Structure 1
């Protein structure tokens, strides 16, 4: 047992202190999980020994949570200062939160809130899930997270007024960072390029009604306006994390409320920022999907396109990207199938996995472009119908409300095809299995109704 800053500290004591410094607070059960001890009653009981000792020497404090009939523990002010000295952090260093770049804050920010215990403990549970992902070695991928101390953002309100500047603040519960390294070969030389995506995290206890959700998303829109004005990248998504039990009780209704508030508040940014809702037991799967990113579509095309190219029954363009079509500024991938001379069906590939919005919004954005171009460009006049091909890994998303695609007559939602990328299986929108690739041969019914 070592003497550290005049305190007798064991290895286990130090692990507890480091964990509480990082998480701000936790129950004994969360400490057991976070320090990778066996998930047993005896492990939790054994955790009370270092907690009691650290409390007796003044480094740890606790608060009783009536709702959970248990204590949760956090560093005392003395314990916080002890860890700042032990970690050799400079007093004015705020840190980034990512890459273990920890900062020094006023103790009021370090100490967990005295109210809203349920929300705070759910936040700790969420971060524990993130740490599981971070600890897995993934070639070419860096994954990390940070809490709200680091990602609270003060920004200038964008307005036409020339009066005194007005400042706003966005306070997500946390942020996730996904960095991908891609090796590009140009002129015989390999160059490593990095792409970085940020996701805002919102821990959802299910208590916020639509008015409060609208206020939250309106604040996001103000922040997006600021980023757009400063020509800075938008976050890739906003991830709502809810309790696992919500999957059994009212998850669909909650998603309807959250997604409606999102679309109502953020406007055009819904075409660029993905709203995602995951329960605690599914957050790892959801983030794994985000880590894979464009590889999901790439794998789908690797499975699908060669079949089309090698089929004597297929007529059309196996794969066409609209990324360079002006004024459309998206990257829609499509397959054009010729049914009759001068008439065709356009299949649009969109990722709609679980509770997320971006795939449907990208499709809507593309259809608005196509409807305008169809009247101006004879190249598009042969497209008689647009059919979504929904790519998913875990569970396909529900169809949007019928009003979502109102005024877009080219779309045929009733013909929607689902494709499970993980097992190369096709389904109808009602989840009936389709034995063969449904893009060939195509029935003329797709033109006829």
Structure 2
């Protein structure tokens, strides 16, 4: 029992508060699985105990709840500002630790307002929590996963430096310590929105390779609703892979896009491309070009990786970084030359130069 600011908090209540900080929110059922799931006692009795703990924590104003209706009759719990204060005083908070959030050892620093989960799309949140239940020590929430970047945007008369962000729904740590981004897919996003999502990833990867930095993720995991359809007849797989081929373009040969919607077999676009699988043809997916990786034979590199026992994404990117950086610099110089020519051409018409938002090229 912990006495904190005159409030008695049991060990189990403290563990619940930690879980809510860990995953931003939870239901009684997920808490039951994470805390009592290893026991042989009846699930109903376990859940009744959890309900008593969450009820007590609400009375102490350390957590609050909202309904999961119409998705289910459950309540979803998250921390109040008071609950966040308790957690921060009793956990190892280290925002500079790159592995913070994995394994419930170190944590990032978040306030209650930021930590409050998005509850407008409750189905999306519940799918994330179900994935957490299967892999609790290998997942951290989306606030750890945000990556910012800059990219060059041009139209007929202007070239501007724009800022962008990639916001996955979380990150997954594999057994060999590689981090994958998580995209929870309810099936509601149309192909155009999926293409835009992959375009965003591509611009981020371009900047990382240009700056000679290892790519932030070893792959992209799409967690979809369960399906018993054959891969060839699964329209959602087709939509995601078609969007990836258009949005990621050549990165499809480098970055695994993995769909998880089956009990055993995961569908990996990169593997299908490297294996020249006829599934690609049956799905009717346009095979993306791989010309962005000069002097590369991705199939050959992948075989070398397997022989060396190392299939980390860094192994591949190091071979392409020098060529990619040179190509990117040449492209920037070409765009700037064209911009300067346009500027000179229109000087007589009052054109004042080519500006970005707050930046001049």
How far apart are residue 233 of structure 1 and its match?
Answer: 2.7
Residues 237, 275 of structure 1: 8 Å contact kept:
yes
Instruction: Assess if the C-alpha contact under 8 Å between 2:68 and 2:122 holds in 1.
Output: yes
Q: Describe the shift of the 1:72–1:354 C-alpha distance in structure 2 as closer, same or farther (beyond 3 A).
A: closer
- Cα distance, 1:81–1:94 mapped onto 2, change above 3 Å: farther
Alpha-carbon offset, residue 197 of structure 1: 2.9
User: Which has the bigger relative contact order, CA under 8 A and spacing at least 6?
Assistant: 2
> How far apart, in 2, do the equivalents of 1:257 and 1:40 lie?
38
Check whether the contact 2:198–2:248 (CA below 8 A) recurs between aligned residues.
yes
1:209 corresponds to which of 187, 190, 193:
190
Kindly state the Cα deviation for residue 129 of structure 1 after the two structures are TM-superposed.
Answer: 1.5
Structure 1 Cα separation of the partners of residues 179 and 152 of structure 2: 22
Residues 88 and 97 of structure 1: CA distance in aligned 2, closer, same or farther (over 3 Å): closer
- Could you tell me which residue of structure 2 aligns to residue 157 of structure 1? 151
Please give the secondary structure, in 1, of the residue aligned with 2:52: helix
Query: Does 1:177 pair with 2:203?
Result: no
Given that 2:139 and 2:173 are in contact with CA atoms closer than 8 Å, whether structure 1 keeps it comes out as yes
Superposed, which structure 2 residues align to 1:164-243 within 5 Å?
Answer: 165-178=161-174, 180=176, 197-234=178-215, 235-243=217-225
CA positional deviation for 1:208:
0.9
Q: Distance in 1 between matches of 2:160 and 2:170?
A: 30
Q: Name the CA distance, whole Å, in 2 between partners of 1:51 and 1:159.
A: 50
Give the structure 2 partner of residue 102 of structure 1.
107
Partner of 1:15: 15
- Is the 8 Å Cα contact of residues 118 and 205 (structure 1) preserved in structure 2? yes
Report the secondary structure of 2:197's partner residue: helix
How far apart in 2 are the matches of 1:277 and 1:88? Answer: 34
1:105, CA displacement in angstroms?
1.6
Find the partner of 1:359 among 271, 284, 291. 271
- Asked if the contact 2:123/2:186 (under 8 Å) is kept, the reply is yes
Partner of 2:141: 147
TM (norm. structure 1) is 0.56
Structure with more strand by fraction: 1
The residue aligned with 1:85 is 89
- SS, match of residue 25 in structure 2: coil
Change (3 A) 1:86 1:101: closer
Gaps of 5+ in 2: 288-361
SS in 2 for 1:166: strand
* Residue 27 of structure 1 pairs with residue 63 of structure 2: no
**Closer/same/farther in 2, CA of residues 154 and 256 from structure 1, 3 Å limit:** same
> Which residue of structure 2 aligns with residue 44 of structure 1?
47
- Normalising by structure 2, we get a TM-score of 0.69
* CA displacement 1:154-183 (0-9 Å, x = unmatched): 111146899653210000111223364xxx
Aligned position for 2:260: 278
Give how far 1:236 is off.
Answer: 2.4
Deviations 1:364-397, CA, capped at 9 Å, x for gaps? 5xxxxxxxxxxxxxxxxxxxxxxx7xxxxxxxxx
> Within 2, Cα distance between the matches of 1:248 and 1:77?
45
Q: Output the aligned Cα RMSD.
A: 2.9
Q: 1:204 to 1:8 in 2, by over 3 A?
A: same
5+ residue gaps, structure 1: 135-143, 181-195, 286-352, 365-387, 389-397, 407-449
What is the CA-CA distance between 1:43 and the residue it aligns to? 1.6
User: Deviations along 1:82-118, whole A, 9 cap, x unmatched?
Assistant: 111222647x768643463311123222111231111
Match of 2:79 in 1: 75
